[in-house]
Structure 1
């Protein structure tokens, strides 16, 4: 960006700094679905939508949707957007960049007097991370027509169901099925997102064009043993649920390190009764597996579940495994890849193709329409962390690429 002052990028980062203030106390950004922080940030995003010429409204699933007059009239519409929610102590840009950047692009096009000959929706999806309810892609599944009503029964740490939280927030669980869009009236879905990896930084490129999104599955594993006094119960014969879980976590690490194209994590662990002098009676942990190959992921899962069963039997523990989430890998549409590449070239930005190792709302939106994705370089490839960072120059470049993409789409037959 040597020939520009990156003013759009600086304005965009200022927007994102303001959004980051709507967070629970502590490092980074923590903003959960249907929380007070979620409500507050939507007021801010609604203002951005109005500046971009869109009319905002909260839909039944907790999405904030900004629509232009053409979209409201039922004309064929391009959907843009990303998610507002974060992981605990996350960063400013994961998700929110893809909400703010298209609004900055549309605002700028509006100021330039450019009128797009198709409808536009920009969506701030309510729940992509699944941090609060462990049930992700609620909003994007609603638009895609694949929402599953049983998701409403998922509970948070306080025992509140997703359905209850959504009603309190102003949503309407019973009306979610009616949110499904007509595929014939949708041009496609395009999301801008930080890369969450090191490839663009290694290539010294501001942006990259995504070819596919990884497949993801999540499981909740519960081991039940027997509590007892830690000082008076002999070591032989103990049914310690935490020791069994520790062996399983180690097995996960071994299998993942020995399997190409498979990654995963045990990211959450709960122990009951969680007392300093009591043998753990129950331990629950989460298992997440990711791979672009469904076959690799399924084989890894089978290997791990067999290992878990053997450990549980050896330790005298009962084992319960519940799959809480599954999404298969999806490809981005060739025409969308090519259009984003052409827009990047028009803006003087090299934009090689790369694969997304993270899941996004596109996993659900692919059931509705063609999807495309533009990655933006992030410092050290860091994401889901308070130190998440992008530069004003890269933010500016990505905004201009999206503007060129939107103009180029107007020329398509």
Structure 2
């Protein structure tokens, strides 16, 4: 027997707007890990979770949780969630929409008996915008935390260890956030697509088949800083020109394959108009549907960039600062999401659309400890990580119905 729907798409969007106000920058949305804005978002989300009838707590990694027991106390939990942190100058829906939708589904199911506990989580760090390491919140929950990360520093020189202490958490107890496989039924995440494929197909919703494996690097090209006028061409060891050639090579190699590569930052030193650059630092974000394709592309890129630097008399240093394996969504949870999409009755004779996710998500970290599934919602022009990020109320309404139906489908299939 279903209960009356108590949370509408309009209310979900209004809650996303409330989260927008929790920003370190009054002009642009920026909510980073273990900051006062993160704490405020946790408090706001906890209030909504409590309204939905969930018991709430913040775990040892700073993630915000809510839980309602199933038919028997202490049963394993189906976890719904996403992340509350943002990139700098963010949009209103990446991560946040998934958290708010999860709370809304928990509220809709408040009077429904489930054969498992239902939990909602708002992860504190998915983007990695503060410390340069993504998925800190969900990796703590998955039990894949690396204590060396505690030495990471933000732009102000604050270590992750110190940030934990400033937030009121003990960095030595991060391991307490880890969950065991026997505590979990699975993890379902609703998220905007962050790409244009659903919109191009005129679909509100899609299901995710797999999440791209990602690696991130910092590359330092070292030359020699010298006078721009007094140094002849044959004596120049220009780090910026070498780095620029490397950027072009990265794009050329990736475009000829099924991988995706992005150089998102390029910094030059000393940065004077009349000085040949002596150093260039660039970032590389590399993704593919499989780890094998991703790693093979990195090997090809590394060989070509090394050759460029050797030819130009430049040094090259490479530091890998993030690696996440590709994650396949579990077949039975894919089917639950497909059933949920079908329940929205907006497809006609069409089959639900499956996509592999080019973007990373908390689900890929949780895949190390439990089965995962994802529901994608159409976003305007596929834009994300931008203030222009947008969703339509009708798509959120269909997403809520599909997400609720997916939970019911899990309940019908799950055997303890």
Q: Give CA deviations for 1:61-113 in whole Å, capped at 9, x if unaligned.
A: 12112222459953110111111111221211111111110101112332xx3
For 1:40-189, list aligned pairs within 5 A. Answer: 40-70=40-70, 73-110=73-110, 113-189=111-187
Post-superposition offset of 1:231: 3.3
SS at match of 1:236: helix
Equivalence for 2:376: 375
Equivalence for 1:9: 9
SS at match of 1:232: coil
CA distance in 2, matches of 1:166, 1:349: 46
8 A Cα contact 1:188 1:369, kept in partner: yes
Q: Give CA deviations for 1:267-286 in whole Å, capped at 9, x if unaligned.
A: 01222222333322221111
Compute the TM-score of the two structures, normalised by the length of structure 2: 0.93
Equivalence for 2:236: 238
CA distance in 2, matches of 1:276, 1:144: 48
Structure 1 residues 224 and 26: alpha-carbon distance in aligned structure 2, compared to 1, 3 A threshold: farther
Judge which range, 31-40 or 14-23, deviates more.
31-40
Judge which range, 157-166 or 376-385, deviates more.
157-166
8 A Cα contact 2:343 2:401, kept in partner: no
Structure 1 residues 148 and 127: alpha-carbon distance in aligned structure 2, compared to 1, 3 A threshold: same
Judge which range, 91-100 or 7-16, deviates more.
7-16
Judge which range, 48-57 or 378-387, deviates more.
48-57
**Unmatched 5+ residue regions in structure 2?**
none
Post-superposition offset of 1:377: 0.8
CA distance in 2, matches of 1:136, 1:7: 31
CA distance in 1, matches of 2:355, 2:160: 35
Post-superposition offset of 1:117: 3.4
Equivalence for 2:281: 284
Judge which range, 388-397 or 270-279, deviates more.
270-279
Bigger relative contact order, structure 1 or 2, given CA contacts below 8 A and separation 6+? 1
Equivalent in 193, 196, 208 of residue 194 of structure 2: 196
Q: Within the alignment, does 1:293 sit opposite 2:294 as a pair?
A: no
Q: Within the alignment, does 1:392 sit opposite 2:389 as a pair?
A: no
Equivalent in 314, 317, 320 of residue 317 of structure 1: 314
CA distance in 1, matches of 2:142, 2:11: 32
8 A Cα contact 1:192 1:376, kept in partner: yes
Q: Give CA deviations for 1:149-178 in whole Å, capped at 9, x if unaligned.
A: 111111112221112112211222211122
CA distance in 2, matches of 1:300, 1:71: 49
CA distance in 1, matches of 2:14, 2:256: 44
Task: Supply the RMSD in Å over aligned alpha carbons.
Answer: 2.0
Q: How many residues align?
A: 406
Structure 1 residues 237 and 28: alpha-carbon distance in aligned structure 2, compared to 1, 3 A threshold: same
CA distance in 1, matches of 2:98, 2:66: 14
Post-superposition offset of 1:55: 2.4
Q: Within the alignment, does 1:307 sit opposite 2:308 as a pair?
A: no
Compute the TM-score of the two structures, normalised by the length of structure 1: 0.93
Post-superposition offset of 1:361: 0.8
8 A Cα contact 1:71 1:121, kept in partner: no
Post-superposition offset of 1:192: 0.3
CA distance in 2, matches of 1:294, 1:343: 30
SS at match of 1:78: strand
8 A Cα contact 1:218 1:288, kept in partner: yes
Post-superposition offset of 1:343: 2.0
Q: Give CA deviations for 1:11-37 in whole Å, capped at 9, x if unaligned.
A: 110000111111233665222112222
CA distance in 1, matches of 2:408, 2:143: 29
Judge which range, 19-28 or 301-310, deviates more.
19-28
Judge which range, 300-309 or 188-197, deviates more.
300-309
Structure 1 residues 72 and 86: alpha-carbon distance in aligned structure 2, compared to 1, 3 A threshold: farther
For 1:254-265, list aligned pairs within 5 A. Answer: 254-259=252-257, 261-265=258-262
Judge which range, 378-387 or 58-67, deviates more.
58-67
